[in-house]
Amino acid sequence: MTFIPTTPSMVLLFLVLLLKSSIFAQDVEMDETATTTPSSNTSSLNECDNLTIGEFTFLLVSSSDPFDEVSFFGFQDLPGNLNLYLTDNAWTGDSFATTEGVMMLTTPPEGIPAGITVGLGPAETVYQYGRSWQSVQGVFALSTEGEQVFLYCLDGSNQPRPIAAISYNGPFLPPNLPDYGFNTSAVPQDLVDANATIVLPHEHRWQYIGPKLLEIDELKAAIQDTETNWEGTSVQNSSGSTTGMSRTTTMVVTSFLISVAVVATNSLW
Ligand SMILES: *[C@@H]1O[C@H](CO)[C@@H](O)[C@H](O)[C@H]1NC(C)=O
Ligand SMILES: *[C@@H]1O[C@H](CO)[C@@H](O)[C@H](O)[C@H]1NC(C)=O
Ligand SMILES: *[C@@H]1O[C@H](CO)[C@@H](O)[C@H](O)[C@H]1NC(C)=O
Ligand SMILES: *[C@@H]1O[C@H](CO)[C@@H](O)[C@H](O)[C@H]1NC(C)=O
Ligand SMILES: *[C@@H]1O[C@H](CO)[C@@H](O)[C@H](O)[C@H]1NC(C)=O
């Protein structure tokens, strides 16, 4: 079982343990550099390896309608000073293609608690950190033809470790195909097994509009229920400002209540 702090006292204990173990880890590392032979190259686990696949889920994806937006949500705290990445590059089987783009967000020193909706885009009342991402490779641009987006971090071996995925162009494809183009992708099987993927048919914009005040497992299941709880819209035209306004209002409520749901559920445990 993964240890997830769920009450304030457990969070405190977790932080104390984390602090102690990181100080300890530094001591060990310094000893090792002094005593071990240079040939040893054991990669250690890092904060990225500690993120649990299945504890993060996308809530929103929007392609040029009138701007690209993505948001996601954690049932697990994100540590401070962690680099998170969003990419529309295809997963090819054991790595990402490099034909599209990668955006990076460094979490604030205090971390990002579970229950905070993190986004990329301009809607500051809907998700946090929307304008804090920087481009680190290529061009991240969500195609109105449909695409796949991955959330990942870099593991202890400095390799991308996907932790959540969303497709708004139908099912993911098998790995190791010769070419995924700009609007298809494979997906790591561990994400599928952990319900860390959202698979939607093609629309320009999708968002979770389902119930929010649920226990954690029920909320996870509700977010997975794309038939019932996701709304897709294909607005061809950014001049439809009335539609845009009403969608934004719904999203504010969604985001707020999800935060409350997790905090409320946590405090029961
Ligand atoms: C990973 O989490 C465990 C607790 O579950 C903690 O002891 C360890 O220090 C963490 N490792 C890193 C690199 O954050
Ligand atoms: C250590 O392993 C990592 C990951 O496999 C690799 O990228 C790096 O080049 C290795 N370093 C040395 C000195 O062999
Ligand atoms: C992918 O995009 C191309 C244009 O780039 C389009 O012709 C094709 O129909 C799209 N495929 C799917 C499955 O949507
Ligand atoms: C994934 O979702 C299904 C359907 O809600 C559920 O039965 C299953 O237990 C979930 N798996 C995990 C690993 O959470
Ligand atoms: C967008 O809306 C304007 C005005 O309502 C209309 O003239 C134009 O044809 C629309 N464009 C598309 C691509 O639907």
Domain span at 150: 56-264
Ligand 5 center to 236 CA (angstroms): 8
**Closest ligand to residue 54's CA:** 4
**Residues 115-156: pLDDT tens digits?**
999 999 999 888 999 999 999 999 999 999 999 999 999 999
**Closest ligand to residue 44's CA:** 1
Domain membership of residue 156 (yes or no) is yes
pLDDT given at position 4: 53
Ligand 1 center to 148 CA (angstroms): 30
Domain membership of residue 49 (yes or no) is no
CA distance 267 to 269: 5
Domain membership of residue 127 (yes or no) is yes
Q: Which residues pair with 85 in a beta bridge?
A: 104, 152
pLDDT given at position 36: 43
Q: Which of 109, 135, 137 is nearest to 120 (CA)?
A: 135
Whether the link from the prior residue into 66 is cis, omega within 30° of 0, is yes
Domain membership of residue 34 (yes or no) is no
Whether 53 lines ligand 4, by a CB cut-off of 6 Å, is: no
Starting at the earlier edge strand, list the strands of the sheet with 69-74: 117-120, 69-74, 56-62, 205-208, 230-233
Q: Give the 3-state secondary structure of residue 77.
A: coil
Output the residue whose Cα is nearest ligand 3's atom 14: 145
Q: Using 50 as the pLDDT threshold, list the residues of the chain that sit under it.
A: 1-3, 11-38, 41, 237-257, 259-260, 263-269
- Angle at alpha carbon of residue 87, lines to 81 and 89, rounded to 5°: 145
Whether 156 lines ligand 2, by a CB cut-off of 6 Å, is: no
Domain membership of residue 21 (yes or no) is no
Domain membership of residue 45 (yes or no) is no
- Extended beta strands in the chain, E state: 56-62, 69-74, 83-87, 102-106, 117-120, 134-137, 148-154, 160-167, 197-199, 205-208, 230-233
Ligand 4 center to 259 CA (angstroms): 22
CB 105 within 8 A of CB 118: yes
Domain membership of residue 50 (yes or no) is no
Torsion (CA) 91, 96, 101, 102 in degrees, nearest 10:
110
Residues in contact with 76: Cβ distance below 8 Å, sequence separation at least 6, in sequence order? 4, 51, 52, 55, 56, 114
Q: How many domains does the chain have?
A: 1
Domain membership of residue 26 (yes or no) is no
Output the residue whose Cα is nearest ligand 4's atom 10: 195
pLDDT given at position 8: 55
pLDDT given at position 68: 93
